[in-house]
């Protein structure tokens, strides 16, 4: 029996990616292997575009028609951007193919031990990928675009990746304004997540499949009713709150609010 020590467990945070072929179970048997090989080739192309290599992936797992890959945590921004390039590659491919192909993508970040074969981080990743609301939104775009020229790939993003990477505008190709919040529900799993379809309206997809739009989230930095401003405590009596667009601090929107003494209505 080995003692459980930090040196033996050796878990490090990884950026993880899952890719799955949409509707592969409906394909004929002669297309299954070619579809899987082609999807892996397209994913490798998308990874190369963002500066990652298929061969450098850690904890490689095959999941039927899909794959799960892990990279060092600092690559999380690149991993998120994979969906943008994969969507372009799939749509370009579908213009000339008899059978369209599309991909579902999930992105998460969590600890993984080098000497372990089964990881909680991959379990969470799988639950996100199979969340009913996400798969319903994917099916919605498949119905609207049967030939696959407008929709090639969509992504579901974990709450951790959203808060630390996407929401702070750290990923230019996946703007937070083009993402929609969902509740990811799967077997033994419930959590907030965000979905994104490059060039398409995620909110419209949710509305069309009957999912109520999530309530607006207050700014994390907002301490008063001024949504979107970085504010402090409530202003003292006799003061007004004035906003000023100044030099933004890292992670903030660049707008600041501060109290100033209120002048009397009767003059100076």
CATH number for the domain that contains residue 183: 3.30.70.1230
Residue 1 covered by a domain: no
Residue 140 covered by a domain: yes
Same domain, 172 and 225: no
pLDDT at 45 over 50: yes
258, 268 contact by CB (below 8 A):
no
Give the range among 43-57, 72-86, 138-152, 220-234 with minimum mean pLDDT: 220-234
- Exposure on the CB side of residue 74, measured as CA atoms within 13 A: 1
Number of domains, the chain: 2
Helix axes 29-49, 76-94, angle to 10 degrees: 130
pLDDT at 6 over 80: no
Mean pLDDT of 238-248: 45
Same domain, 43 and 171: yes
Task: Quick: pLDDT tens for 175-224.
Answer: 999 999 999 998 788 999 999 999 999 998 999 888 876 554 443 433 33
pLDDT at 259 over 70: no
Same domain, 239 and 185: no
Q: Where in the sequence is the domain holding 234, given as residue range(s)?
A: 218-268
Give the range among 17-26, 213-222, 233-242 with minimum mean pLDDT: 213-222
Same domain, 236 and 111: no
* CA distances for 29 relative to 5, 26, 36, 130, angstroms: 48, 9, 12, 23
Same domain, 176 and 234: no
What is the reported pLDDT for 215? 53
| 28 — pLDDT class (breaks 50, 70, 90) | confident
Q: Is the dihedral of CA 20, 77, 49, 54 positive or negative?
A: negative
Mean pLDDT of 128-136: 94
Residue 195 vs residue 27, higher pLDDT: 195
Residue 6 covered by a domain: no
Same domain, 100 and 33: yes
Residue 75 vs residue 261, higher pLDDT: 75
């Amino acid at each position: 029996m080995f003692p459980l020590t930090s040196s033996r467990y050796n878990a490090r945070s990884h950026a993880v990616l899952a890719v799955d072929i949409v509707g592969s179970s409906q394909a004929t048997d002669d297309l299954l292997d070619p579809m899987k090989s082609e999807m892996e080739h397209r994913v490798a192309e998308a990874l190369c575009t963002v500066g990652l290599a298929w061969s450098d992936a850690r904890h490689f797992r095959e999941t039927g028609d899909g794959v799960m890959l892990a990279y060092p945590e600092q690559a999380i921004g690149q991993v998120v951007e994979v969906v943008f390039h994969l969507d372009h590659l799939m749509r370009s491919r579908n213009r000339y193919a008899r059978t369209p192909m599309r991909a579902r993508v999930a992105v998460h970040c969590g600890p993984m031990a080098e000497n372990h074969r089964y990881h909680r981080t991959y379990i969470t990743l799988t639950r996100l990928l199979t969340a009913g609301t996400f798969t319903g939104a994917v099916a919605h775009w498949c119905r609207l675009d049967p030939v696959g020229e407008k929709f090639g790939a969509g992504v579901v993003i974990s709450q951790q990746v959203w808060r630390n990477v996407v929401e702070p505008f750290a990923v230019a190709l996946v703007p937070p304004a083009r993402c929609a919040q969902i509740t990811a529900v799967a077997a033994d799993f419930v959590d907030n997540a965000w979905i994104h379809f490059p060039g398409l309206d995620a909110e419209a997809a949710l509305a069309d499949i009957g999912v109520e739009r999530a309530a607006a989230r207050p700014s994390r930095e907002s301490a008063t009713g001024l949504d979107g401003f970085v504010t402090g405590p409530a202003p003292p009596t006799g003061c007004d709150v004035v906003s000023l667009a100044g030099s933004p601090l890292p992670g903030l929107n660049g707008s600041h609010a501060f109290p100033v003494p209120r002048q009397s209505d009767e003059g100076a």
